[in-house]
Amino acid sequence: MFIDEAKIRVKAGDGGNGCMAFRREKFVPRGGPSGGDGGRGGDIIMESTQRHNTLMYFRYNPLHRAERGEHGMGSNCTGRDGQDIILKVPVGTVVYNEETGDLIHDFQHPDERVIIARAGRGGRGNQHFATPTHQAPREHEMGYPGEELSLRLELKVLADVGIVGYPNVGKSTLISRISAAKPKIADYPFTTLEPNLGVVTVGEAPYEEAFVVADIPGLIEGAHQGAGLGDRFLRHIERTHLLVHLVDVSDAGGRPDPVADFKTISNELASFGAHLEDKPVLVVASKMDAANPDKLKKLAAMAKRRKLPFYEISAVTGQGVDKLKYAIGEQVRELRKQTQIELKES
């Protein structure tokens, strides 16, 4: 099951209490204070990993509490520190403070480790309060509480390319042709109920390159207001370099105007509010094996007016798929270089 949102509560361990004790040893008169310090509590740590791709564990385990530190003991013995808890999250997880809405951390790389909630330190024992004029102190400190937070986790899959379009335009079939992904494919709308990822390789070994493609469940008009599956999956293409916009030019889908379809989906991307409309776009005429010539001509003219790259494919017969795959690979390569240059300059 693909779960891309979860709310959890974390509680770092409290520190142990400091001890009040006095030495009681044979032949040691007036032994003095010997209360040890309390142990430190355990931290709540999050670590990104590529071994997980869903937040399902957190959906069904919403409370995480680290161990508290042990109390101090006599003979100046410090209590044992509490055990840390390490929570493994998928790469691409964004952690927010649920109460304030503040961003805590964005896990964009594997093996990132961040302390989400810090433990309380242990209290001091009475040995620390002894002075020349106060040689038998009875003061000692209680342990300090660990941080307690309510968190909202959002998973944004890390893909180079996002495939968008109306339901049933051939997005799942395309990703199954250009990668090893095996999404559910059927001839009815909203077949895809969760994003599918596929790794696409272009070129020949040892110089072949790979990029990740995400098939986003179908959008419809009003998705940003919750229509259809809504826009809840659009966060998964926020980090993509490139969008591939599939438009059905056949008569099978019952949609009369491919240009209107393109504009509707483009408006939904813009309404999402994450600058998706600013990403480079490839316009792809889908289902060329059953294309309506008038629809194809109209869509091609629109792409030419907007100076958008235009491709024609049939994911069923394979027509134009390789050409599109290599064009995507070339675009991704150039956009990656541009991103690296911008990072170096910043």
pTM of this structure: 0.71
> Which of 53-57, 212-216, 241-245 is the most confident on average?
241-245
CA 179 – CA 315 distance, rounded (Å): 12
Please provide residue 7's backbone torsions phi and psi, each rounded to the nearest 5 degrees: -120, 130
Q: What's the chain's average pLDDT?
A: 85
DSSP letters spanning 183-252 = ----SSTT---S-EEEEEEES-TTS-EEEEEEEPPPP-TTGGGT-TTTTTTGGGGTT-SEEEEEEE-BST
Q: Three-state SS for 97? A: strand
**Among the ranges given (90-94, 233-237, 260-264, 311-315), the one the predictor scored with the smallest mean pLDDT:** 233-237
List pLDDT tens digits, range 147-195: 999 999 988 877 788 888 888 888 888 888 888 656 544 444 444 456 6
CA 172 – CA 179 distance, rounded (Å): 11
The pLDDT value recorded for residue 48 is 93
The percentage of residues in the chain with a pLDDT greater than 90, rounded to a whole number, is 46
Within 10 angstroms of residue 132's Cβ, the number of other Cβ atoms is 5
List pLDDT tens digits, range 94-137: 999 999 999 999 998 889 999 999 999 999 999 999 998 898 89
The pLDDT value recorded for residue 188 is 41
Given a cut of 70, whether residue 337 has pLDDT beyond it is yes
CA 210 – CA 251 distance, rounded (Å): 34
List pLDDT tens digits, range 281-296: 999 999 898 889 999 9
Q: Are the C-beta atoms of residues 183 and 175 closer than 8 Å to each other?
A: yes
The pLDDT value recorded for residue 118 is 96
| Cα–Cα–Cα angle for 240, 90, 199, rounded to 5 degrees | 45
Given a cut of 90, whether residue 252 has pLDDT beyond it is no
The pLDDT value recorded for residue 232 is 60
List pLDDT tens digits, range 53-73: 788 899 889 999 999 999 999
Domains of the chain: 5-155 (2.70.210.12), 161-345 (3.40.50.300)
**Among the ranges given (8-17, 195-204, 314-323), the one the predictor scored with the smallest mean pLDDT:** 195-204
Name the pLDDT band for 30 (thresholds 50, 70, 90).
confident
The pLDDT value recorded for residue 190 is 45
Tokens of 164: 């968008």
Name the pLDDT band for 27 (thresholds 50, 70, 90).
confident
Candidates 151, 152, 157; CA nearest to 235 is: 157
The pLDDT value recorded for residue 73 is 94
Name the pLDDT band for 213 (thresholds 50, 70, 90).
confident
CA 12 – CA 46 distance, rounded (Å): 12
DSSP lists the bridge partners of residue 209 as: 202
The pLDDT value recorded for residue 226 is 54
| Cα–Cα–Cα angle for 45, 51, 54, rounded to 5 degrees | 80
The pLDDT value recorded for residue 68 is 96
Given a cut of 90, whether residue 79 has pLDDT beyond it is yes
| Cα–Cα–Cα angle for 203, 206, 211, rounded to 5 degrees | 50
